[in-house]
Structure 1
Amino acid sequence: MSRHAHLGIDLSDTGAHAAAWRDHGSRGQRLFDAARLLELVTVAQRGALDFVVFDDDFALHPSRSTTLQGRLDAALVAARLAPRTTGIGLVSTVGTTHTAAAHVAKAVATIDHASHGRAGWQVGWDTRIDDVPTAGPRSSAVQSAAVAAAAEAAGVVGRHWDRWDESAEAPSARRRFVAHDGVHFAAAPPTAAPRPPQGRPPVVVRADSPAATELAGRHADVVRVRVTGPDEAAQARARVRAAVAAAGRDPRDVRVLVDTHLVVGPDRASAQARHEMLAELEGVDAGTLSFVGTTAGFAELVSTWVDDEIADGFVVRPSSVHTDLPALVDGVVPLLRAADRFRLGYPGATLRDTLGLPLAAARYAATA
């Protein structure tokens, strides 16, 4: 029985390379144009990709060769796109370091309601005070402390999503008041919001440290790993699945996806030339898998890694969204479908359906 790959697309900024806005067709002047984002998501949706990711944090993002800085609010972008899209999941990064868990839960739940069950939450946290000069003392936390606080917040977010019991007969009995007094923060119960259509929107975690891997093991439905080759990917997937099992969860219910910078062309020489041009302008992140080649070559890589259980799929950062995203959708996806390695469409109405995740039961639901 063949295994289908999961494919997400990261639409943060203009592409995987910070200089991609200078590439022909990238339309750098439209970086903050909501209509442009809708165009890109529509392309991804045409290929039935699992989800799009919008990254976010409190820091500016200066470039070595341009003064281009800043990002739009990821949750607001997803909320705006929710009623204008169908099928595709909308994953927004919402940080836990400077945002109360209750507000995170409500923001993501709102997107889930607006999209009829297609929201996802990528857990974010901040560690460096120089990135966030006005954010207060918590931004100076070291990585392990920041991730520990994010893990605590992720647990509270899940409890907030479960606090609305639709099975209760009386409306007044449907709300559960979730107060929290933990190691890293305390919070009183805020105004209740209806439970998200998915119950719990899928949680995405970047497992880029041992502490983050532990967080992923306890709370993640989708785990993003950064590797440079198949051996590293297999080891990273094994570590994630071990962390999931250690947390008392079923590793089969978690998807491990490899972050990949994608540069494609009609032949490998053309793709390599564009890759070198962008690298010369801005440099390349050496810690993430880069694929430089043809659509057939990337389709073969996806099929091989999924067949060999090296990964469950990929989160693609197109080197230039206006070049590599259409190539992924119109070139790679048809080849994967022809090989029975990618589904023909969306299997259901929710992001959990697309990811093949089980229904999330409400912990406070009334029992007989």
Structure 2
Amino acid sequence: MSTKHLHLNAFLMSTGHHEASWRLPESNPVANTDVEHYRNLARLAERGTFDSIFFADSPALFNEVGRRPSGALEPTVLLTAIAAATERIGLIATASTTYNDPYNLARRFASVDHVSGGRAGWNVVTTATLEAARNFGLEELPNHRDRYQRAAEFIEVSHKLWDSWQDDATLADKERGVWGNGERVHRINHVGRYFRVQGPLNLPRSPQAYPLLVQAGSSEDGKELAAKYAEAVFTAQQTLEEAQAFYTDIKKRAVALGRDPDGIKILPGIVPVIGSTEAEARALEEELDRLIVPEYARDQLARRLRLRPEDLPLDQELPADLPDEDEIEGAKSRYTLIVTLARRERLTVRQLIGRLGGGRGHRTFTGTPEQVADAIQDWYDNGAADGFNVMPAVLPSGLAAFVEHVVPILRERGLFRREYTGTTLREHYGLPRPAWRAPAAVGV
């Protein structure tokens, strides 16, 4: 029996990750703006002793409104509501380095960390859509390399701001009438290519010092950013061999930068469709796929592939002549994953739409709780993952099935915790609290 412990994050998305989940009789079609829906999901994941929950985000309309529940609550605001309804589970939100400024965002995540008692995490993204760019006065999407260089400086400035207060700056000495020691609060005086920030942050150092930093891009630039800064990586891989290669690559890059490879956790996405029997699971999968509206799905696929919808006949394979990854400025790695999947399995557009409908390129797995646990253990034991980004196809039922039936199996196999042993998100992931560094010592 393995003595290692894997990490589990619950990626929560309205009615579930399958695009047709909202059409099931059980689903609440307006769950995307229902705070109590998300509180209940967080409490459910906490009952399963998940390390964390996670919300994706983009500063643009996320989906075609005809296709699935669209529009999303701002995730750091949502996390504060969830923090009050939970006690231990980590709380991770996505925020863009392209369409924010470091001061406000560093303050926002430090605030969530204070409010939650040390459970905040930040999924760092550079935002790959033209729609977002045009919401911020830009005619074109910023260059891929430029976005990642800005992201690196953004993180460095955030680190400086989180370190602008020393841990012992707050004295609260009522007898002497001294609340804080001003010599332990520092301007950062950052001047770089993208940002000029004086500081200090207007908030004391938070319980975790820094939120847990997560990254999800798998392009070359994305992997370099992850290797340098990320403490958890959410990734999309379709096969064991691809996942092993990615895992090894990220760990080697981290070591080359002087980091402990155990200080960066790799969590591939998995979309489990669970039934008490394999036939029951297959029936749910087939029902969901039957409810996909192919015209919506084809339109989105065409935009991702930079084609016209009429260039993608539903019952034919992808055209032979597609752009190279180097020609793609947004979501390079996901583009390559989708094309590789279609080519490798010789999928028609209709079949590809079905495969993407469940998890947008993440691995889907349909079966019994034992089969799901086997799939998780296989990748975990064979150097492909430190844990998993669990993406239930339907919510809340898919998460409930995982917590009630898969988690006990993982516990019995010695793969997962039976109870929380720490109180902060960093403790759940086995990571130390960063020591204070003088802001001037943080390089760009």
Range with greater deviation from structure 2 (182-191 or 202-211): 182-191
Query: What amino acid sits opposite 1:152 in the alignment?
Result: E
The aligned residue for residue 7 of structure 1 is 8
The Cα shift of 1:139 comes to 6.2
Alpha-carbon distance between aligned partners in 2 of 1:258 and 1:38, rounded to the nearest angstrom:
24
The Cα shift of 1:326 comes to 0.3
Alpha-carbon distance between aligned partners in 2 of 1:63 and 1:208, rounded to the nearest angstrom:
25
Higher CA-based Rg: 2
The aligned residue for residue 417 of structure 2 is 343
CA offsets 1:91-149 (integer angstroms, 9 cap, x no match): 01111111111111111111111110111111122233234432122862122221221
Query: What amino acid sits opposite 2:262 in the alignment?
Result: R
The Cα shift of 1:20 comes to 1.2
Map 1:1-368 → 2, pairs under 5 A: 2-63=3-64, 65-66=66-67, 68-137=69-138, 140-168=141-169, 171-189=181-199, 191-282=201-292, 283=353, 284-285=355-356, 287-364=361-438
1:343–1:138 Cα change, 3 Å: farther
Query: What amino acid sits opposite 2:241 in the alignment?
Result: D
Paired-residue identity, %: 32
Range with greater deviation from structure 2 (138-147 or 343-352): 138-147
The Cα shift of 1:189 comes to 2.3
Range with greater deviation from structure 2 (213-222 or 266-275): 266-275
The Cα shift of 1:209 comes to 0.9
Q: Is the 8 A contact 2:224 2:253 kept in 1?
A: yes
RMSD, aligned CA: 1.9
Alpha-carbon distance between aligned partners in 2 of 1:140 and 1:190, rounded to the nearest angstrom:
32
1:288–1:359 Cα change, 3 Å: same
The Cα shift of 1:203 comes to 0.3
Query: What amino acid sits opposite 2:277 in the alignment?
Result: D
Alpha-carbon distance between aligned partners in 2 of 1:154 and 1:109, rounded to the nearest angstrom:
13
Range with greater deviation from structure 2 (187-196 or 235-244): 187-196
CA offsets 1:54-88 (integer angstroms, 9 cap, x no match): 11111112348536421110110011211221110
Alpha-carbon distance between aligned partners in 1 of 2:395 and 2:129, rounded to the nearest angstrom:
29
Alpha-carbon distance between aligned partners in 2 of 1:133 and 1:196, rounded to the nearest angstrom:
34
Query: What amino acid sits opposite 1:278 in the alignment?
Result: L
Alpha-carbon distance between aligned partners in 2 of 1:199 and 1:62, rounded to the nearest angstrom:
35
The Cα shift of 1:290 comes to 0.9
Q: Is the 8 A contact 2:162 2:201 kept in 1?
A: no
Alpha-carbon distance between aligned partners in 2 of 1:150 and 1:277, rounded to the nearest angstrom:
41
Query: What amino acid sits opposite 1:251 in the alignment?
Result: P
The Cα shift of 1:24 comes to 2.9
Alpha-carbon distance between aligned partners in 2 of 1:141 and 1:267, rounded to the nearest angstrom:
48
Query: What amino acid sits opposite 1:224 in the alignment?
Result: F
Range with greater deviation from structure 2 (134-143 or 106-115): 134-143
Gaps of 5+ in 2: 172-179, 293-352, 440-444
Q: Is the 8 A contact 2:164 2:438 kept in 1?
A: yes
Q: Is the 8 A contact 2:32 2:73 kept in 1?
A: no
Alpha-carbon distance between aligned partners in 1 of 2:89 and 2:424, rounded to the nearest angstrom:
8
Gaps of 5+ in 1: none
Alpha-carbon distance between aligned partners in 2 of 1:148 and 1:262, rounded to the nearest angstrom:
35
Query: What amino acid sits opposite 1:196 in the alignment?
Result: S
Query: What amino acid sits opposite 2:197 in the alignment?
Result: A
The aligned residue for residue 336 of structure 2 is none
Query: What amino acid sits opposite 1:55 in the alignment?
Result: A
Q: Is the 8 A contact 1:128 1:141 kept in 2?
A: no
Q: Is the 8 A contact 2:191 2:197 kept in 1?
A: yes
Q: Is the 8 A contact 1:256 1:313 kept in 2?
A: yes
- TM-score normalized with structure 1 length: 0.94
Alpha-carbon distance between aligned partners in 2 of 1:178 and 1:53, rounded to the nearest angstrom:
30
- TM-score normalized with structure 2 length: 0.78
Alpha-carbon distance between aligned partners in 1 of 2:201 and 2:409, rounded to the nearest angstrom:
49
Query: What amino acid sits opposite 1:214 in the alignment?
Result: E
Instruction: Give secondary structure in 1 for the equivalent of 2:26.
Output: coil
